Structure 1
């Protein structure tokens, strides 16, 4: 496993720090994406539930990066991937994807999946550089235009 990476539990006191990291990391999206990010409604209790229903991983102490992993029928889904602004460019996002890859293979999956907003072109390029390819375009409920893209990465077999 990645040095300094930890799977978090629902009662972990660092969940508050993770929430703050996600909020700060996603703040630049405010006013850029429509509809607004679900991060705006995210709570510590939501992160604790994610720890129980899926997995929550972080790197660093204090937390510099985190990701939520959720089992789907045919893939492992990556959500709320966040890296502290002062730690960007150090490969932490790639390390989180590597954690997801290791966990997916351990769980019997051969595909990773994530979604990114249509407006966030830089994120599309970053995930493409990590081996993800666009597989779908979707619209949030109530929207008649594409609001996000789905990206997948084949792993293992």
Structure 2
């Protein structure tokens, strides 16, 4: 397994988009509103790569994981953490989170922050096992009930 930086030289946006869509597909019908992964296309993904810090995980030539990171004033936001469904449970997500931690430390940011949907209790447990704790909730536009929980990990 190799972790690598996804930057302007990266030329496999089609594989990256397929990975994200496959990894987030299990949420369809479970979360409301639907995942923002549905709004991604090759062009928006290229823009995301240009604007954020991204890492990929490969198993040989196969792309099996990714994460996008965005520096904020007091933390590093972790988004679009995706692992191919048939590669889950092999520590790839933890390896990508370790890259996020290393990046936060390099940027002198004291914490990681992420959002996970209220309905995805298995994600709450998985992130909790990695040291994240719930710090709040949020509502997507048009909703009056919480639709996501915020979790943080102090470094």
Q: Which residue of 1 aligns with 2:54?
A: 56
Counterpart of 2:36 (choices 35, 38, 52) is 38
Q: Distance in 2 between matches of 1:115 and 1:130?
A: 14
Q: Distance in 1 between matches of 2:18 and 2:107?
A: 29
Q: Residue by residue, what CA displacement relative to the aligned partner does 1:68-109 show, whole Å, maximum 9, x if unpaired?
A: 001111110010101111111110010011000001100111
Flag as ranges the 4+ runs of structure 1 deviating above 4 A.
none
Q: Is it true that 1:129 corresponds to 2:129 in the alignment?
A: yes
Q: Distance in 2 between matches of 1:43 and 1:75?
A: 27
RMSD: 1.1
The answer to whether the Cα contact below 8 Å between 1:9 and 1:48 also exists between their aligned partners in 2 is no
1:13, CA displacement in angstroms?
1.7
Q: Which residue of 2 aligns with 1:112?
A: 112
> What secondary structure is seen at the aligned counterpart in 2 of 1:6?
strand
What TM-score results when the alignment is normalised by the length of structure 1? Answer: 0.94
Q: Is it true that 1:47 corresponds to 2:48 in the alignment?
A: no
What TM-score results when the alignment is normalised by the length of structure 2? Answer: 0.95
Q: Residue by residue, what CA displacement relative to the aligned partner does 1:102-128 show, whole Å, maximum 9, x if unpaired?
A: 011001111000000000000000000
Q: Distance in 1 between matches of 2:10 and 2:27?
A: 28
Q: Distance in 1 between matches of 2:30 and 2:96?
A: 25
1:17, CA displacement in angstroms?
0.6
